[in-house]
Amino acid sequence: MEYSLVCIECGREYEREDVYTCECGGLLEVRIDDTEIDFRLDGKELRVWKYGCLLPVKIEPISLKEGGTPLYECDRIGKEVGCKVFVKHEGANPSGSFKDRGMTVGVTKAIELGKSAVACASTGNTSASMAMYAAKAGLMAYVLLPAGKVALGKVAQALMHGAKVIGIKGNFDQALALVRQICAMQGFYLLNSVNPFRLEGQKTIAYEIVDELGFVPDKVVLPVGNAGNISAIWKGFKELKRFGLIDSLPKMIGVQAEGANPIYKAVKEKKDDIEPVLNPETIATAIRIGQPVNARKALRAIYESKGTAVQVSDEDITKAQKDLASKEGIGVEPASAASIAGLRKLAENGEIERDETVVCITTGHLLKDPEAVLRACGKPIEVEPSVEAILKVL
């Protein structure tokens, strides 16, 4: 398969692959040339590399068997909001988040380019996933985190998989600016979602949704932080249409937390770029991001698809997290619950129709953030070791 890197702003094409952004400052996108499709959307054997003919790598991939995540029909929540609701649970990936789809491609690209070290800034999940895939590939991994603002499970993963983990006394946006400088100085391969190859892996979420459902949903709802995933999924749907595999497209709905809402504000004001939020704050630490690097791509995805963005409060997020866990048996981290909170917000706003099908993406697993669970549910009751004491509290 042939492809090139193209700037989304000025259209300049790059032959070299070790670039992240255009000389004009614009974001790059992988443009796939016309090619033979060697998979069928038959609902069988879903996984990222099923769609390898549309993924831009030239060597055997570094894989931990990512993708093929469950798509659950959620009748209870569907009844409440008044449409057919499916949840695609990306928490079921090897590291517990959707980032694995991007990392299998990104880390493979690092090997292809002859790199010996990879690096990222992260609100947690990117670092956990990168550390895992770097371990599998035998690469050094360097991680910058906003100190004290990353969920415990994610830090645990990055540490155990052998990354060098550094806490920055600042927020994610500052950490990202710093890691970009460090990568340029040290020759580390940058694996944040400004890397266009990572987004190629993440577009397989769109492929799998159509593969499993057998049709194109009306809406896809997902949390937006650095705004890579919404851009990637939209690209995936557009490619399926371009290659004649589907003939309609869904509306893309981005959900942000009220305290970290630059994309929401831009959409509300119909702007094509964001004003950064300087001190982003939310319990959904994964999306505690004020200056999303992929904002321009994400806003295009929302406008082109005739979608929208909504914002939800931390309270809405916690309620949605409990709902999904206790009514549907799906355990997700707070950022992921934002998709369900966003769906409820759409329903409240009258933006859901009775016969439509909505797919919510739950991006990360419940166990990523055990401390958020204890805050939401309290600690277990402790009693004396006797039948009487237990019966008393039942």
List residues near ligand AN7 by CB under 6 A. 97, 122-126, 193, 223-229, 286-287, 333, 335-336, 363-364
What is the phi/psi pair of residue 362, to 5°?
-100, 110
Beta carbon nearer to ligand AN7, 41 or 90: 90
Closest CB 224 distance from ligand AN7, rounded Å = 5
Closest CB 62 distance from ligand AN7, rounded Å = 19
Q: Which residues, including other chains, have CB under 8 Å from residue 142's CB and lie 6 or more apart? A: 117, 118, 119, 120, 163, 164, 166, 179, 182, 188
Beta carbon nearer to ligand AN7, 6 or 224: 224
User: What gap in Å lies between CA 312 and CA 314, rounded to an integer?
Assistant: 7
Closest CB 162 distance from ligand AN7, rounded Å = 18
Beta carbon nearer to ligand AN7, 226 or 308: 226
> What letter represents residue 181's amino acid?
Q
Beta carbon nearer to ligand AN7, 41 or 305: 305
Beta carbon nearer to ligand AN7, 108 or 127: 127
Closest CB 238 distance from ligand AN7, rounded Å = 17
What tokens does 63 get?
Answer: 């894989």
Closest CB 386 distance from ligand AN7, rounded Å = 42
Closest CB 193 distance from ligand AN7, rounded Å = 5
Closest CB 384 distance from ligand AN7, rounded Å = 40
The H-assigned helical ranges of the chain are 75-81, 99-112, 125-137, 152-160, 172-186, 196-202, 204-213, 228-242, 262-268, 295-304, 314-328, 334-348, 370-377, 387-393
Q: Which residues, including other chains, have CB under 8 Å from residue 380's CB and lie 6 or more apart? A: none
User: What gap in Å lies between CA 139 and CA 91, rounded to an integer?
Assistant: 24
Closest CB 110 distance from ligand AN7, rounded Å = 17
User: What gap in Å lies between CA 218 and CA 341, rounded to an integer?
Assistant: 18
CA nearest neighbour of 332 among 361, 359, 358, 362:
362
Beta carbon nearer to ligand AN7, 131 or 287: 287
User: What gap in Å lies between CA 254 and CA 230, rounded to an integer?
Assistant: 7
278: alpha, beta or left? (left if phi > 0; alpha if psi -120 to 50): alpha
User: What gap in Å lies between CA 289 and CA 12, rounded to an integer?
Assistant: 29
Beta carbon nearer to ligand AN7, 250 or 364: 364
In our burial notation (b when 16+ CB lie closer than 10 A, e otherwise), range 338-347 reads: bbbbbbbbbb
What tokens does 261 get?
Answer: 């809402």
Closest CB 325 distance from ligand AN7, rounded Å = 15
CA 21 to chain centre: 20
Beta carbon nearer to ligand AN7, 194 or 352: 194
379: helix, coil or strand?
coil
User: What gap in Å lies between CA 176 and CA 192, rounded to an integer?
Assistant: 8
Closest CB 115 distance from ligand AN7, rounded Å = 20
Count of CB atoms within 10 A of residue 18's CB?
A: 15
Beta carbon nearer to ligand AN7, 223 or 236: 223
C-alpha to C-alpha distances, 268 to 202, 265, 272, nearest whole angstrom: 26, 5, 11
Beta carbon nearer to ligand AN7, 41 or 146: 146
Round the CA-based radius of gyration of the chain to a whole number and report it.
20
